[in-house]
Amino acid sequence: MGIIEGFVYREFNLKRASLGTFLAQLINPVIYVVFFATSMSGLLASVEYRGQTYNYFIFVLPGLLTLQTFLVFPFVGSLVASDKRFGLIRTFFISKGTPSKYVLGKIIVEGAVVFVECFFMLAIGFLFSGFLPLISNLLLMSIMIGLAFLFWLSLGILFGLFVKGEVSRAAILTLTNLPVLFTSPMFYTLNEVPAWVSIGALINPLRYHVDSIRDAMFGILSPTTFIIVLVMSSLTLLISLLILKKASITP
Amino acid sequence: MGTSFIIDIENLSYVYSNSGVKALSSLSVQSDMKSGILAILGPNGAGKTTLVNVMTTSMPLQTGKIKIFGYDIARNRDIIRSLIALCAQGLELDLLLSIKANLWSYGLIRGMKKETLKKRIDYLLELFQMKEKADRRVLQLSGGEMRRVQLMRTFLDETAKLLFIDEPTLGLDPLGRKVTWELIKEWVEKEHYFILTTNDMAEVERLSSEIVFLYKGQKLAETTVEEFKKQYAGRIKINIKTGNENSKACIRKWSSKNKVNVLHQSGHTFTLECKDILIFLDLLSEISRKGGEIEGLSLQQETLEDAFINLIEKMEGFHGNN
């Protein structure tokens, strides 16, 4: 327990040390909901989704929640890259800090931040729309948010380990972020999009995360979507742990 | 365990896959580290850092065997990791965290009890005179102060039995150096072991009695500082400032007769080199007999640094001729 506490202490203090970034992390999602969702719902009153008609504000809210899990990817990628570059991964692993404990420290602190963000977003959503999911749906939604978070965190670890140099990381993120975001049903349904976007969406993990969180919120989550998301997250987490264990830890 | 060697390296080779550079080649080292400190010496690119990286499990073992305290590195990585600590040459600190936060998180990650950890942090902050700056971010410290923090972290957990320190006192002021050397000696007395990689030969002379000398990934010597100096730096230099022409003529004649090397002559000053100090007594009585005068005289024994240079020059000459 002490070792995990050490990692949590470190991660938490790193957040405190860059308070501006931390606050921005908490405030940005709220701004998204307040400005983006309310403005767009003025343009698009309702959206048809899986045979039901929903208010756009309520429709886009799970998309924005998923966005918070997705943003963990570049953030954790940059943290891990810096830990490796400055020899901290080596320092920790040569001590009793195993890869799994290192990852667990990140899961606890970053996960807490994502859950606080999501809580604020749901609260603002409720204030603006009066919509509140059922408790059972909220619980299921939390599980799906947790799984999406684990997926992007694990991918962030791999990204940070393998992509050396800030310039390369920035270039890769610039090239991939928008296609990933826009081939997902985060802001719109994929019913009306061109065929090539639909094909892109099939291999886009974010699509399954948005679907799973949205479906959980509306209480229509299918076991297939649940299993797809569960397998994706478990596999990515497992791979990131294995690679972290086997990879060279020299700076 | 079944062996008395603290370090037992057998046929260790390491090739960097990306560049194809062979950093270590069939290296074998067996040391019981009786003095507690083993210095790994060698010119840049000799393989010192690679050796430390493999020994500390930072890089995978490719070919060969390494045992530390009798534990096979390939099979007992976690045990070895719990017995060692590393102070690398690079910063390897959380720059955004305070000194205290760096030490506290590291101590917890090493599995130290909070009570012990608190005591150790207070003790080390006092010892390295960093108490006033304990809450300051590492980023705000000078290079020497950062090095102190790194050393404090290395000496935090007393359960670490083998400590690898790369350039122990690099960037430290004389006081910091003194504290570090004293701490190393104190820990050696408490049966801790140190592997130092350094280019500061004065430090090696001061601290270690055992050395391993690497050259192009191979071991050239595994011996004590004294033996190494005896073998590669046995020469003595004498500087003589003569007072008159008689003395100059006498030195020239005497050195030629006795086949003593005149390294340097400028005006009235001569630098002679010889392996046996007693032969110089003969020169002095010769000068006196011939009515010569001596205004100044100094003797200089070759140091470990000279031995280092002599060996490298010998090897470069050898490689150059081949």
* Domain identity same for B283 and B173: no
A168 touches chain B (CB under 8 A): no
Residue B163 has pLDDT above 50, yes or no: yes
Q: Which of B205, B231, B257 is the last residue of a domain?
A: B231
Helix (H, G, I), strand (E, B) or coil at A127: helix
pLDDT band of B3, cuts 50, 70, 90? low
pLDDT band of B319, cuts 50, 70, 90? low
A79 touches chain B (CB under 8 A): no
In SS3 terms, chain B reads as CCCCCCEEEEEEEEECCCCCCEEEEEEEEEECCCCCEEEEECCCCCCHHHHHHHHCCCCCCCEEEEEECCEECCCCHHHHHHHEEEECCCCCCCCCCEHHHHHHHHHHHCCCCHHHHHHHHHHHHHHCCCHHHCCCEHHHCCHHHHHHHHHHHHCCCCCCCEEEEECCCCCCCHHHHHHHHHHHHHHHHCCCEEEEECCCHHHHHHHCCEEEEEECCEEEEEEEHHHHHHHHCCCEEEEEEECCHHHHHHHHHHHHHCCCEEEEEECCEEEEEECCCHHHHHHHHHHHHCCCCEEEEEEEECCHHHHHHHHHHHHHHHHHHC
Please give the Cα distance from A62 to B28 (Å, whole number): 61
Residue B88 has pLDDT above 70, yes or no: yes
CB contacts of A99 in chain B (<8 Å) are none
Across the range A214-224, mean pLDDT stands at: 95
A91 touches chain B (CB under 8 A): yes
Residue B216 has pLDDT above 60, yes or no: yes
- Token reading at A117: 């963000």
Q: What is the DSSP letter of B61?
A: -
Chain-chain contact of B96 with A9 (C-beta, under 8 angstroms)? no
Min distance A92 CA to chain B CA atoms (Å): 7
Q: Let me know if residue B321 belongs to a domain.
A: no
* Domain identity same for B259 and B186: no
B82-99 in b/e form (b: 16+ CB < 10 A) is bbbbbbbbebbbbbbbbb
Across the range B59-82, mean pLDDT stands at: 93
Min distance A90 CA to chain B CA atoms (Å): 6
Whole-number pLDDT of residue B149: 96
Whole-number pLDDT of residue A247: 81
Q: Let me know if residue B60 belongs to a domain.
A: yes
* Domain identity same for B132 and B37: yes
Residue B318 has pLDDT above 70, yes or no: no
* Domain identity same for B211 and B253: no
Chain-chain contact of A17 with B137 (C-beta, under 8 angstroms)? yes
Chain-chain contact of B88 with A96 (C-beta, under 8 angstroms)? no
Residue A58 has pLDDT above 60, yes or no: yes
Q: Let me know if residue B244 belongs to a domain.
A: yes
Domain harbouring B214, CATH code: 3.40.50.300
Q: Which of B187, B212, B231 is the last residue of a domain?
A: B231
* Domain identity same for B140 and B194: yes
Residue B322 has pLDDT above 60, yes or no: no
CB contacts of A97 in chain B (<8 Å) are 109-110
* Domain identity same for B140 and B242: no
Percent above pLDDT 70 for chain A: 100
* Domain identity same for B256 and B171: no
Whole-number pLDDT of residue B1: 46
Q: Let me know if residue B111 belongs to a domain.
A: yes
Chain-chain contact of B109 with A249 (C-beta, under 8 angstroms)? no
Across the range A163-174, mean pLDDT stands at: 87
Q: Let me know if residue B226 belongs to a domain.
A: yes
Mean pLDDT of chain B: 89
Whole-number pLDDT of residue A246: 85
CA nearest to B213, candidates B202, B227, B193: B227
Across the range A40-54, mean pLDDT stands at: 84
> Which residues lie below 8 Å from residue B145, measured CB to CB, with a gap of 6+?
B130, B133
CA distances from B12 to B21, B49, B66 (A): 15, 14, 8
Q: Let me know if residue B107 belongs to a domain.
A: yes
Chain-chain contact of B82 with A96 (C-beta, under 8 angstroms)? yes
* Domain identity same for B273 and B167: no
Min distance A19 CA to chain B CA atoms (Å): 11
* Domain identity same for B55 and B115: yes
> Would you state the torsion angle of the CA atoms of residues B209, B215, B220, B226, taken in this order, to the nearest 10 degrees?
-30
Residue A52 has pLDDT above 60, yes or no: yes
Please give the Cα distance from A69 to A155 (Å, whole number): 11
Nearest CB among B60, B101, B111 relative to A3 is that of B111
Q: Within the 187-246 window of chain A, which residues sit less than 8 Å (CB to CB) from chain B?
A: none
Q: How many domains does chain B divide into? A: 2
Tens digits of per-residue pLDDT, A188-208? 888 888 888 888 888 999 999
Please give the Cα distance from B298 to B239 (Å, whole number): 5
Min distance B258 CA to chain A CA atoms (Å): 56
Chain-chain contact of B113 with A9 (C-beta, under 8 angstroms)? no
- Token reading at A47: 């959206």
How far from the centroid of its chain's Cα atoms is residue A95's Cα?
30
Chain-chain contact of B109 with A13 (C-beta, under 8 angstroms)? no
Min distance B208 CA to chain A CA atoms (Å): 25
Domain harbouring B270, CATH code: 3.30.70.1150
Exposed, middle or buried: residue A116 (CB in 10 Å: 0-12, 13-18, 19+)?
middle
Residue A178 has pLDDT above 60, yes or no: yes
Helix (H, G, I), strand (E, B) or coil at B261: strand
Across the range A112-131, mean pLDDT stands at: 90
Min distance A183 CA to chain B CA atoms (Å): 36
pLDDT band of B320, cuts 50, 70, 90? low
CB contacts of B101 in chain A (<8 Å) are 9-10, 13
Nearest CB among B60, B81, B92 relative to A86 is that of B92
Residue from A82, A85, A96 whose CB has the most chain B CBs within 10 Å, to mutate: A96
* Domain identity same for B152 and B56: yes
Nearest CB among B97, B111, B113 relative to A13 is that of B97
Residue from B105, B139, B155 whose CB has the most chain A CBs within 10 Å, to mutate: B105
Query: Which chain A residue shows the shortest CA-CA distance from B136?
Result: A17
Min distance A38 CA to chain B CA atoms (Å): 38
Chain-chain contact of B92 with A91 (C-beta, under 8 angstroms)? yes
Tens digits of per-residue pLDDT, B283-315? 888 888 888 888 898 888 888 888 888 888 888
Bridge partners of B22, per DSSP, are B15
Q: Let me know if residue B2 belongs to a domain.
A: no
* Domain identity same for B215 and B243: no
Mean pLDDT of chain A: 91
Q: Let me know if residue B96 belongs to a domain.
A: yes
Chain-chain contact of A96 with B114 (C-beta, under 8 angstroms)? no
Q: Domain range spanning residue B287?
A: 235-301
Chain-chain contact of A6 with B97 (C-beta, under 8 angstroms)? no
* Domain identity same for B20 and B144: yes
Chain-chain contact of A95 with B114 (C-beta, under 8 angstroms)? no
Across the range B139-168, mean pLDDT stands at: 94
Please give the Cα distance from B204 to B308 (Å, whole number): 11
Nearest CB among A2, A18, A249 relative to B111 is that of A2
